[in-house]
Chains A and B, each alone.
Chain A
Amino acid sequence: MNKRSTPQSGRMDELRQELFGKQLLSISKGLDYPRTPDIAGAVMTRLRGATRPRFISRRLVWSLTVILILFSSLMLIPPARAAIIEFIQIGVVRIFRAEPTPLAPPNQEIPSTVVPVTATPVPTSQPLIPILENLAGEMTLDEAQKAVNYPILLPSYPPDVGKPDRIFVQNADGKMTVLVWLDPQHPDQILMSLHFLPAGSWAIKKIEPTHIQETTVNSQRAIWAIGPYPLRLSNGDLDFVRLIDGHVLIWEQGDITYRLETDLSLEEAVKIAESLQPIEP
């Protein structure tokens, strides 16, 4: 219900908000936190160790175990064993190559044990907006440009593409920018997303995409990969394992690796990639 805004009602809203804020402050003080563990002791032990042990969390051990089991299973299959040792590197992305295989059927189901986390639209997938709501570092385009030390480029193709609807800068270590365009016909679906990965920040490993193809963007070598495949992102520690089930164009320009996730054709994706331009003031 829209309220008519007057100076008086505006002031009332402010007072209500202020009172509500005070109540939140008061109530939240009663939260029963677990006792803070000896983090300083653990950190200092690890810093002073002659050889710093690699940080592996308990949760990560589980995750790695599952990956190891999957990997071991793949190694039992002769064609996979031959393929896994090959990889293609482009920018910060390393693709472990498998023998090209027929494309997955369009309605292939995602394994229920893997959470699909991709910005690529897939007609049969569920709405992806809730995933975006959990992404950290959302800001405006201007704020994002101030937060990173490389130019954020926007596509000028297709002509009606417009500015991205959602912008994220993830700065746990290096600053990765993610631009997201929503589908105007289906606002709960994502039309495409563009990732900027500065050198030395994140490393990405794709494991056996269903289909990969070499191409060019601005006459430079580029990779076109079609999922589904697990995508591993790491920035010091193994942190994400995502299932990508769309098409991704990857290319490098200067110190930045670009990833364009879209369900458009390779030709269209290359046109978009080649249309990138600095943000107009």
Chain B
Amino acid sequence: MDESTLIRHAANGDAAAWEPLVLAHQEAVFRLSYLLLGDPDDAEDIAQETFLRAWNHLKRFDLTRPLRPWLLSIASNLASNRRRSAARYLSALTRAFRNEPVSSISIEEKSTRHMEASHLWKAVQTLSMPEQQIVYLRYFLDLSVAETAEVLNIPEGTVKSRLSRALDRLRGIIQHDFPVLAEPRDGQEGHDA
């Protein structure tokens, strides 16, 4: 059964048809939520809520469009709202007490690849929320420009121009605050990243 058939069944109240769709997209939805919130518990809450809200509004969903961008759009909005909620504020306070300082041993144990990715994530987190969203969608989740436009509900041209501005800012942040990422990497020339 293809995706649009499953969506049609689900929109008619068939919960069994919704399950394979959740399975197919749960990783992307969870990961985007995690990137935006930085906390796995929060990300799980948002991912569940995303699929429940989507289920409740399936009748309004345009079957000619792909499902994933719509789900990511819901998750992105919910995560953005959560960042600003009192619950989130309390969560940050709780985490501040819960977290232990990162030891030098754990840093050394991490592979270079993970370290680089972790640095990159930290650099992206210094961007504005709209810039973070677009960078996560396009590069961390590897969505096309068209899919990113679909998620953010903006034209492709706007995605390109916003990406360009976000990358300019990110490049500056990396060069200033994360020089380890700005060093030339194996098989690549230049000093940009």
Contact = CB atoms under 8 A, between A and B. Distances in A.
Interface string A10-35: 00000011011101110111111110
A55 to B, nearest CB: 6
A152 to B, nearest CB: 15
Given A39-B26, A136-B130, A27 B192 contact: no
A24 B168 CA distance: 13
Interface string B28-47: 01110010000011111101
A69 to B, nearest CB: 12
Interface in A39-56: 39-40, 42-44, 46-48, 55
B116 A27 contact: yes
B118 interface: yes
Contacts, number: 190
A189 B152 CA distance: 27
A137 interface: yes
Contacts of A236: 53
Contact of A136 (B18, B44, B133, B155): B133
Given A19-B190, A37-B30, A62-B94, A27 B117 contact: yes
B85 A63 contact: yes
A136 B88 CA distance: 16
A109 interface: no
A241 B77 contact: no
A67 B85 CA distance: 13
B77 to A, nearest CB: 4
A241 B85 contact: yes
Given A42-B48, A59-B45, A239-B85, A32 B114 contact: yes
Contact of A172 (B27, B53, B55, B155): B53
A64 to B, nearest CB: 8
- Chain A contact patch, size range: 35 or more
- Chain B contact patch, size range: 35 or more
A2 to B, nearest CB: 13
Given A31-B117, A139-B153, A21 B87 contact: no
A136 B192 CA distance: 29
B74 A40 contact: no
Contact of B116 (A16, A30, A34, A170): A30
B193 A39 contact: no
Contact of B15 (A31, A47, A138): A47
Given A16-B190, A55-B49, A66-B90, A31 B114 contact: yes
A101 interface: no
A44 B17 CA distance: 10
21 contacts: A20-B171, A28-B139, A30-B111, A31-B120, A32-B117, A36-B31, A39-B22, A43-B18, A48-B15, A55-B52, A57-B49, A57-B87, A58-B41, A59-B45, A67-B86, A136-B129, A139-B158, A143-B153, A143-B158, A172-B74, A240-B81
Given A30-B117, A62-B90, 10 more contacts: A20-B193, A27-B181, A28-B121, A28-B139, A31-B121, A32-B118, A34-B43, A115-B84, A135-B80, A139-B158
Interface of B: 15, 18-19, 22-23, 26-27, 29-31, 34, 40-45, 47-49, 51-53, 55, 57, 73-74, 76-78, 80-91, 94, 110-111, 113-114, 116-118, 120-121, 128-130, 133, 135, 138-140, 142, 153-155, 158, 163-164, 167, 170-171, 181, 185, 188, 190, 192-193
Interface of A: 16-17, 19-21, 23-25, 27-34, 36-37, 39-40, 42-44, 46-48, 55, 57-60, 62-63, 66-67, 114-115, 117, 133-140, 143, 147, 169-173, 236-237, 239-241
